[in-house]
Protein backbone atom coordinates (compact mmCIF):
# COMPACT_ATOMS: atom_id res chain seq x y z
CA UNK A 1 0.00 0.00 0.00
CA UNK A 2 1.26 3.45 -0.86
CA UNK A 3 1.20 6.38 1.48
CA UNK A 4 1.52 10.07 0.69
CA UNK A 5 4.89 11.11 2.09
CA UNK A 6 5.06 13.93 4.63
CA UNK A 7 6.71 17.11 3.34
CA UNK A 8 10.12 18.43 4.31
CA UNK A 9 10.97 20.03 7.65
CA UNK A 10 11.36 23.37 5.84
CA UNK A 11 7.58 23.48 5.62
CA UNK A 12 7.30 23.58 9.39
CA UNK A 13 9.92 26.30 9.63
CA UNK A 14 7.89 28.43 7.23
CA UNK A 15 4.64 27.61 9.00
CA UNK A 16 6.21 28.82 12.24
CA UNK A 17 6.81 32.17 10.59
CA UNK A 18 3.18 32.26 9.45
CA UNK A 19 2.01 31.49 12.96
CA UNK A 20 3.91 34.48 14.29
CA UNK A 21 1.96 36.70 11.90
CA UNK A 22 -1.48 35.27 12.66
CA UNK A 23 -3.87 32.40 12.01
CA UNK A 24 -2.25 30.35 14.74
CA UNK A 25 -5.36 28.55 15.96
CA UNK A 26 -6.34 27.19 12.58
CA UNK A 27 -2.81 26.09 11.65
CA UNK A 28 -1.96 24.53 15.00
CA UNK A 29 -5.12 22.44 15.14
CA UNK A 30 -5.16 21.41 11.49
CA UNK A 31 -1.44 20.96 10.97
CA UNK A 32 0.12 19.90 7.75
CA UNK A 33 -1.56 16.51 7.49
CA UNK A 34 -4.85 17.38 9.12
CA UNK A 35 -4.18 14.97 11.96
CA UNK A 36 -5.92 17.14 14.54
CA UNK A 37 -8.79 19.58 14.35
CA UNK A 38 -10.83 20.90 17.26
CA UNK A 39 -14.61 20.78 16.91
CA UNK A 40 -14.78 24.57 16.70
CA UNK A 41 -12.42 24.57 13.70
CA UNK A 42 -14.38 21.76 12.03
CA UNK A 43 -17.58 23.77 12.37
CA UNK A 44 -15.89 26.76 10.73
CA UNK A 45 -14.39 24.67 7.94
CA UNK A 46 -15.21 25.71 4.38
CA UNK A 47 -16.97 28.63 2.78
CA UNK A 48 -18.15 30.20 -0.45
CA UNK A 49 -15.88 30.03 -3.50
CA UNK A 50 -16.06 30.69 -7.23
CA UNK A 51 -13.58 28.83 -9.45
CA UNK A 52 -13.50 27.10 -12.86
CA UNK A 53 -12.96 23.43 -13.64
CA UNK A 54 -10.63 21.83 -16.17
CA UNK A 55 -13.19 22.48 -18.91
CA UNK A 56 -13.57 26.17 -18.08
CA UNK A 57 -16.98 25.73 -16.43
CA UNK A 58 -17.76 27.91 -13.42
CA UNK A 59 -17.94 25.93 -10.17
CA UNK A 60 -19.11 27.32 -6.84
CA UNK A 61 -19.87 25.91 -3.43
CA UNK A 62 -23.48 25.58 -4.56
CA UNK A 63 -22.36 23.12 -7.27
CA UNK A 64 -21.81 20.51 -4.53
CA UNK A 65 -24.67 21.46 -2.24
CA UNK A 66 -26.44 18.42 -0.84
CA UNK A 67 -23.61 16.04 -1.79
CA UNK A 68 -20.80 14.51 0.27
CA UNK A 69 -17.42 15.38 -1.16
CA UNK A 70 -13.81 14.14 -1.31
CA UNK A 71 -11.54 17.19 -1.50
CA UNK A 72 -7.78 17.50 -2.04
CA UNK A 73 -5.56 20.56 -2.53
CA UNK A 74 -2.34 20.28 -4.55
CA UNK A 75 -0.75 21.26 -7.86
CA UNK A 76 0.39 19.69 -11.11
CA UNK A 77 4.14 20.34 -10.64
CA UNK A 78 4.08 18.45 -7.33
CA UNK A 79 6.66 15.66 -7.44
CA UNK A 80 4.88 12.74 -5.78
CA UNK A 81 2.46 13.64 -2.98
CA UNK A 82 -0.23 15.01 -5.31
CA UNK A 83 0.07 12.36 -8.01
CA UNK A 84 -0.14 9.63 -5.37
CA UNK A 85 -3.21 11.25 -3.83
CA UNK A 86 -4.95 11.48 -7.20
CA UNK A 87 -4.00 7.90 -8.03
CA UNK A 88 -5.52 6.83 -4.71
CA UNK A 89 -8.68 8.80 -5.51
CA UNK A 90 -8.91 7.00 -8.86
CA UNK A 91 -8.62 3.63 -7.10
CA UNK A 92 -11.29 4.58 -4.56
CA UNK A 93 -13.67 5.63 -7.33
CA UNK A 94 -13.17 2.29 -9.05
CA UNK A 95 -13.77 0.42 -5.79
CA UNK A 96 -16.93 2.37 -5.02
CA UNK A 97 -18.37 1.95 -8.51
CA UNK A 98 -20.67 4.24 -10.45
CA UNK A 99 -23.48 3.93 -7.90
CA UNK A 100 -21.71 6.24 -5.45
CA UNK A 101 -22.63 9.84 -6.33
CA UNK A 102 -19.56 11.23 -4.66
CA UNK A 103 -17.58 14.05 -6.30
CA UNK A 104 -13.79 13.81 -6.06
CA UNK A 105 -12.35 17.32 -6.31
CA UNK A 106 -8.76 18.49 -6.80
CA UNK A 107 -8.15 22.21 -6.13
CA UNK A 108 -4.85 23.74 -7.23
CA UNK A 109 -2.76 25.78 -4.81
CA UNK A 110 -0.76 27.08 -7.79
CA UNK A 111 -3.22 28.95 -10.06
CA UNK A 112 -0.44 30.90 -11.81
CA UNK A 113 0.70 27.72 -13.57
CA UNK A 114 -2.34 25.48 -13.28
CA UNK A 115 -4.70 26.80 -15.94
CA UNK A 116 -7.79 24.78 -16.96
CA UNK A 117 -5.83 23.43 -19.93
CA UNK A 118 -2.91 22.34 -17.75
CA UNK A 119 -5.27 20.66 -15.29
CA UNK A 120 -7.10 18.89 -18.10
CA UNK A 121 -3.85 17.50 -19.51
CA UNK A 122 -2.69 16.48 -16.04
CA UNK A 123 -5.86 14.54 -15.29
CA UNK A 124 -5.29 12.38 -18.37
CA UNK A 125 -2.73 10.56 -16.21
CA UNK A 126 -5.46 9.30 -13.89
CA UNK A 127 -8.53 7.17 -14.35
CA UNK A 128 -11.85 8.16 -12.87
CA UNK A 129 -13.97 11.31 -12.80
CA UNK A 130 -11.94 13.88 -10.90
CA UNK A 131 -13.00 17.52 -11.00
CA UNK A 132 -10.02 19.92 -11.00
CA UNK A 133 -10.51 23.55 -9.98
CA UNK A 134 -8.48 26.71 -10.55
CA UNK A 135 -9.10 30.43 -10.84
CA UNK A 136 -7.49 33.78 -10.22
CA UNK A 137 -4.86 33.89 -7.47
CA UNK A 138 -7.30 35.92 -5.37
CA UNK A 139 -10.21 33.51 -5.76
CA UNK A 140 -8.00 30.49 -5.01
CA UNK A 141 -6.54 32.26 -1.98
CA UNK A 142 -10.06 32.88 -0.70
CA UNK A 143 -10.88 29.18 -0.86
CA UNK A 144 -7.58 28.16 0.72
CA UNK A 145 -8.30 30.45 3.64
CA UNK A 146 -11.84 29.16 4.10
CA UNK A 147 -10.60 25.57 4.21
CA UNK A 148 -7.57 26.30 6.43
CA UNK A 149 -5.08 25.24 3.74
CA UNK A 150 -1.42 26.14 4.16
CA UNK A 151 0.28 26.95 0.85
CA UNK A 152 3.84 28.33 0.73
CA UNK A 153 5.81 28.68 -2.54
CA UNK A 154 9.49 27.73 -2.25
CA UNK A 155 12.01 29.75 -4.32
CA UNK A 156 9.30 31.56 -6.26
CA UNK A 157 11.88 33.10 -8.65
CA UNK A 158 12.53 29.65 -10.09
CA UNK A 159 9.97 28.79 -12.84
CA UNK A 160 10.06 25.20 -11.57
CA UNK A 161 9.39 26.25 -7.98
CA UNK A 162 7.67 23.91 -5.55
CA UNK A 163 4.77 24.70 -3.23
CA UNK A 164 4.67 23.25 0.28
CA UNK A 165 1.03 22.69 1.14
CA UNK A 166 -1.42 20.82 3.33
CA UNK A 167 -1.37 17.22 2.11
CA UNK A 168 -4.64 16.04 3.65
CA UNK A 169 -7.65 14.66 1.79
CA UNK A 170 -10.83 16.07 3.33
CA UNK A 171 -14.13 14.21 3.57
CA UNK A 172 -17.01 16.69 3.52
CA UNK A 173 -20.61 15.97 4.50
CA UNK A 174 -23.60 16.98 2.39
CA UNK A 175 -24.15 19.92 4.77
CA UNK A 176 -20.64 21.22 4.03
CA UNK A 177 -19.19 20.16 7.39
CA UNK A 178 -15.85 18.39 7.81
CA UNK A 179 -16.56 14.73 8.62
CA UNK A 180 -13.10 13.15 8.51
CA UNK A 181 -9.66 13.36 6.91
CA UNK A 182 -7.43 10.93 5.06
CA UNK A 183 -3.89 11.68 6.18
CA UNK A 184 -0.68 11.17 4.27
CA UNK A 185 0.12 8.23 6.60
CA UNK A 186 -3.12 6.42 5.71
CA UNK A 187 -2.90 3.67 3.11
CA UNK A 188 -5.47 3.05 0.36
CA UNK A 189 -7.44 0.56 2.45
CA UNK A 190 -7.79 2.97 5.36
CA UNK A 191 -8.81 5.76 3.00
CA UNK A 192 -11.46 3.60 1.35
CA UNK A 193 -12.86 2.59 4.74
CA UNK A 194 -13.17 6.25 5.76
CA UNK A 195 -14.94 7.11 2.50
CA UNK A 196 -17.39 4.22 2.96
CA UNK A 197 -18.11 5.51 6.47
CA UNK A 198 -18.74 8.96 5.01
CA UNK A 199 -21.24 7.54 2.53
CA UNK A 200 -22.95 5.45 5.23
CA UNK A 201 -23.23 8.49 7.48
CA UNK A 202 -24.71 10.63 4.71
CA UNK A 203 -27.34 8.03 3.85
CA UNK A 204 -28.78 8.05 7.39
For 88, residues 6+ apart whose C-beta sits below 8 A from its C-beta are 2, 4, 169, 188, 191
Length of the chain: 204
Predicted local distance difference test score (pLDDT) of residue 121 = 97
* Separation CA 108–CA 31 (nearest Å): 19
Per-residue pLDDT of the chain (204 residues; tens, 9 = 90+): 444 444 444 444 444 444 344 443 343 334 444 444 544 456 678 999 999 999 999 999 999 989 999 999 999 999 889 999 999 999 999 999 876 689 999 999 999 999 999 999 999 999 989 999 999 999 999 999 999 999 998 876 778 899 999 999 999 999 889 999 999 889 999 999 999 999 988 665
For 190, residues 6+ apart whose C-beta sits below 8 A from its C-beta are 182
Environment class of 93 (CB within 10 Å of its CB; exposed 0-12, middle 13-18, buried 19+): buried
* Structural contact between residues 183 and 32, judged by C-beta atoms closer than 8 angstroms: no
pTM of the model: 0.80
Give which of 83, 85, 143, 140 is closest to 113, Cα–Cα.
140
CA triplet 48, 161, 81: central angle to 5 degrees? 65
- Provide CATH code, domain 9-203: 3.40.30.10
Strands 50-53 and 151-154: unpaired
* Separation CA 89–CA 86 (nearest Å): 5
Predicted local distance difference test score (pLDDT) of residue 101 = 80
Predicted local distance difference test score (pLDDT) of residue 154 = 86
CA dihedral 192, 195, 197, 203 (to 10 degrees): -140
Amino acid sequence: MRTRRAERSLFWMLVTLVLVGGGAAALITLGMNGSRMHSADARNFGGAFSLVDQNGTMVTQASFRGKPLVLFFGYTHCHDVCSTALADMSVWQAELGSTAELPFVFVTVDPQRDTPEVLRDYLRNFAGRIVALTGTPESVKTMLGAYHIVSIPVVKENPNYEVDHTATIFLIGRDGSLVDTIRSQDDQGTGLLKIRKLLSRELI
